[in-house]
Structure 1
């Protein structure tokens, strides 16, 4: 499993209706994309859920590197590049994934929590805790799914979760979910990934 996200931070007075209309118009295009576990079309609006910015920041979990590469190099990302310029695309390696009790409910919000792996930390313990946190998040009332991923170039752990209500029981940046394309969600491997 690979995770990917890019963030388009928009002006404070940007009409976020433009992004909502865009997702309503083209969001379905990834509903059957090969190799995609899911894409959560995410926005943050300045002043909503404590967000300091307006931002479009979709989050992807990929089942295959081929599917991710096809999106990056064979037309999927090009629509964003054409309209907004080329974003910096972050990528993480999957550590754990769990479906939750509300797994098939419509997603209302997502939470992304970033944390550094501290210098001197025993890596096996840090990763074991990340996997355990994935399970804790998935066990919360209203949780749909939880994932833990890591960027070893920055030694950054990311916990990502989807929620059926707008009061998630997880720390981090809260995003509104505009659409969820999930052609390969059922094929995402559960539990820890090693």
Structure 2
């Protein structure tokens, strides 16, 4: 499993209905994308839910590198880059994936929590703790799924989770909260469960 995200930060007065309309028109294009486990079309709106910015920030869980590369090199990513400029694309190596207690429900919000891997720790022990916390996150009420991954170029781990909670309700997870506009799940059953090594 590979995790990927890019963020398109927009002006403070940007009409975020443009993003909502874009996802409504184009979101279905990845519903059957080969090699994609999941794409969550995410948005933050300045002043809503504590967000300091207007941002479009899709998050991906890929089954295959080939699927990810075909998306980046020749797929819909080129349309986004043409409309908004080419954003930096963050990638993390998968550590864990778990279906949540509400795994079949629609997701309303997503939470992303990035944190550094502390200096001086035994990396294997730390990663095992990250995997355990992914399972605990998925076991909470309203969790659709939870995933964890690591960027070894920065020694940063990321927890990503989807929740059934409405915007007014805070999910039981620490991190930045995003509104979910659409979820493409062509391959959720093919994403490997549990620890990824």
Which bin holds the TM-score, normalised by the shorter protein?
over 0.9
* 1:163 equivalent in structure 2: 163
CA positional deviation for 1:120: 1.0
> How many correspondences in the alignment?
194
How many angstroms apart in 2 are the aligned matches of 1:83 and 1:178? 19
Deviations, residues 125-162 of structure 1 (Å, cap 9, x unaligned): 11011001101100000000000000000000000000
DSSP-derived class of the 1:47 partner: coil
* 2:190 equivalent in structure 1: 187
Q: Mapping of 1:42-121 within 5 angstroms?
A: 42-121=42-121
CA positional deviation for 1:122: 1.1
CA positional deviation for 1:78: 0.2
Root mean square deviation of aligned Cα? 0.6
Q: Does the CA-based 8 Å contact 1:95-1:149 persist in structure 2?
A: yes
* 2:180 equivalent in structure 1: 177
Deviations, residues 72-128 of structure 1 (Å, cap 9, x unaligned): 011221011110001000000000000011011111000000000011111011101
Unaligned runs of 5+ in 2: none
Deviations, residues 157-187 of structure 1 (Å, cap 9, x unaligned): 0000000013210000000000000000111
Q: Does the CA-based 8 Å contact 1:91-1:151 persist in structure 2?
A: yes
Unaligned runs of 5+ in 1: none
TM-score w.r.t. structure 1 length? 0.99
What stretches of structure 1 move > 2 A for 4+ residues in a row? none
Q: Does the CA-based 8 Å contact 1:80-1:86 persist in structure 2?
A: yes
TM-score w.r.t. structure 2 length? 0.97
